[in-house]
Structure 1
Amino acid sequence: MADANASDTPAPGELRRSPLHERHEQAGAKLADFGGWLMPIEYAGGGVVAEHTAVRERVGLFDVSHLGKALVRGPGAAAYVNATLTNDLGRIEPGQAQYTMCCDATGGVVDDLIAYLRSDHEVLLVPNAANTAEVVRRLAAEAPAGVEVTDEHTTYGVLAVQGTRSDEVLQALGLPTGHDYMSFVDTTWRGADLVVCRTGYTGERGYELLVPWDVTVELWDALGEAMQQHDGRIAGLGARDTLRTEMGYPLHGHELSLDITPVQARAGWAVGWKKPAFWGRDALVAEKETGAARQLWGLLAFERGIPRDGCTVRLDGGDEVGRTTSGTFSPTLKQGIALALLQRGVGEGDEVVVDVRGRGLRCRVVKPPFVQVQTRGE
């Protein structure tokens, strides 16, 4: 078992570690800094492409314990969250989850996160690792009397089982499956309380499991054993990134930031426009009415080459029209793909040139997702 407090107080300058750190080292993982956490990019014996393909075709298991966890609890907790974050919690019921954003007064995105509605008096939030403390700080600073906001970052590990065989893997452990997309079930496993969520970041059918920190290793091992029957793989955050890019899902710090609003990022569907109040409402409503000066698009390379983030995008005539925000090789399409913020007037079907280290890479502007998966839109 892992020490539940192992990552609570890292030494100055030291990266936090998942409860599965030793398992990652044993599996020959290539490790890197993700939001202040030392996490696996890929594992020995396959690499990103093999891990990506396993998720698309069978099943993969990710450690995403670096994701934040915060609890908002007390009389009127849900109403308070609804008056601060963008999406409308009134659209869902207890037992359901919702994608939402924490914005500042300018409409810029402090973080995007998942809200799990437990009751009118309790909401569990899962923000990104690097932004957890800031989200908690902002919510705590304006919380009304009786509402408490606590950082539960190292209370839970988070494991993601993603792919067409994910149900069978969970069923082998006696865990609940088959509930609706963006819903969650509280259950127990070997005496430990778990939350089984029908969520994910890959586009495939899958589940994310919130597990007590000191039970994470035991559950990881059991899931890994069950997955072997389906030729599944443990997968690192490199494959998670290629999978989400193929789906056109935004990543904070790339497609969303304090300088990139939900309107620009095509995430207006996660804004409760009819709500009377949420942080950044005035700025976002004004931008929606006037139209964003730039918008997120996909770029599909139709010649050999891989666009990366931060590349200049130009028209064939040489005029600069934007910059890429993410870029990668698509293992599914066997082509280079990118997401890019492009100025108004550039649209689907247009041809552009991406400057990749001084070389012009010709791409077509497309509307994501780049690939279609069977369970998308559940």
Structure 2
Amino acid sequence: MAEPNTLEYTPLHDAHIELEARMMGFGGFDMPVQYSSIIEEHRAVREAAGLFDVSHMGEVEVSGPSAFDFVQHLVTNDAGKLYDGRAMYTVMCREDGGIVDDLLVYRRSEESYLLVINASNIQKDISWMRANNPMEADLIDLSNDLALLALQGPKAFDIAQPFVDKPLDDLKFYHFLEAHDGAFMDLDTAIVSRTGYTGEKGLELYVPADDARTVWDALLEAGDAHGLKPAGLGARDTLRLEAGYCLYGNDITDETNPYEAGLGWVVKLDAGDFIGRHTLQAIHTEGPARKLIGFVATERGIPRHDYPIETPDGEAIGVVTSGSQSPVLETGIGLGYVPNDPQYTEAGTALRIGGRRPFRIEVRKPPLHTSE
């Protein structure tokens, strides 16, 4: 955690203070962990809607005649499948297959893409992009110019629809609208994206930083009748963990590759000579040595980062990368790496979490909160 006097503020920092949020350092920013309680905010997202400030995330504009070639070279997924208004999830890797970061790629036009990266990796990622840009695409860091709000939950579209001039139900998953000339809250520019990190229906809204407070206040007011609550990073983490989504720095790092992390589906080996392709081809052929599993505790206990994963007999075989108490299941859940062997990775397999008070777990295929 960064020292308080080194933390940056998002454009919505004053709003969080006014709401008496509990704040803490995350990714170099002073961020709200919770406003009421993590469980209450988590359940609001699962049952109604929650509004998150995720303006700490970074945004990089890639433009010019070589924009596509650069994106295709940088990431493992196939940018050739994108079209205007389409987004994709992907990773960018080192030559040895290690994950530099996971990110979203938005195609705004043939010569304009927006890359959305993790807050803790902004400077590292931008340095990586600039060092791996032989085609000399134009790169502009927009991280300080844009705010990002996530409106997530089954009532999200009902809350946002009055502010959008097109039917949100027509907006497909991983598609987005460019809101120009008053199409979204009278803003000159905005991106309304059907994406999210909670496992629920929802939107991510990219707006100019100067307009963030207006958008935040308007959504909270409009959502009050729908059960909308402001939600902090605590609920964001338990929601993404129930959904089985990876967190950079925990479940994926530059020491993990996409195949072992269960992200082989974002590696398109026939998409061109992207960075790390040859190494990933070899891993795909041979199979990864380990695998990221999801699991649910079958007796009392909460798994924590770095706790050992063991066989029922107590043999250490892996390590927990993310763990918490599931507000939906009211039991411990987590993700962790074990050897890539069906005897450890098959759904329904009984294992245990080690430590001073070991407890039993069962391997589950995410999403964990809906698995039988």
TM-score normalised by length of structure 2: 0.94
Q: What are the Cα deviations for residues 211-242 of structure 1, in whole angstroms up to 9, with x where unaligned?
A: 00000001100000011010110000110110
* Contact 1:61-1:235 within 8 A present in 2 as well: yes
Counterpart residue number, 2:162: 172
The equivalent position to 1:344 in structure 2, one of 316, 323, 340, is 340
The percentage of aligned residue pairs carrying the same residue is: 39
Q: What are the Cα deviations for residues 331-364 of structure 1, in whole angstroms up to 9, with x where unaligned?
A: 11111101011112212222112124x1101111
Q: What are the Cα deviations for residues 104-163 of structure 1, in whole angstroms up to 9, with x where unaligned?
A: 111011100000011221110000001122221122223245521111111100000001
Is 1:216 the counterpart of 2:212 in the alignment?
yes
The equivalent position to 1:116 in structure 2, one of 95, 106, 120, is 106
Within a 5 Å distance, the mapping from 1:1-378 to structure 2 comes to 14-43=6-35, 46-144=36-134, 146-174=136-164, 176=166, 177-178=168-169, 179-187=171-179, 188=182, 189-345=185-341, 346-348=344-346, 349-356=348-355, 358-372=356-370
* Contact 1:77-1:121 within 8 A present in 2 as well: yes
> Cα distance, 1:365 vs. partner?
1.3
Q: Which amino acid aligns with 1:41?
A: V
Q: Which amino acid aligns with 2:44?
A: A
Q: Which amino acid aligns with 1:130?
A: S
Higher alpha-carbon deviation: 183-192 or 338-347: 183-192
Q: Secondary structure at the match of 2:190?
A: strand
TM-score normalised by length of structure 1: 0.92
Q: Secondary structure at the match of 1:69?
A: strand
* Contact 1:173-1:222 within 8 A present in 2 as well: no
Q: Secondary structure at the match of 2:108?
A: strand
Q: Secondary structure at the match of 1:16?
A: coil
Give the whole-Å Cα distance in 1 for the aligned partners of 2:194 and 2:165.
Answer: 12
- After the TM superposition, which parts of structure 1 deviate over 6 Å for at least 4 consecutive aligned residues? none
Q: Secondary structure at the match of 1:83?
A: helix
RMSD value, Cα:
1.7
Q: Secondary structure at the match of 1:272?
A: coil
Structure 1 gap ranges (5+):
1-9, 374-378
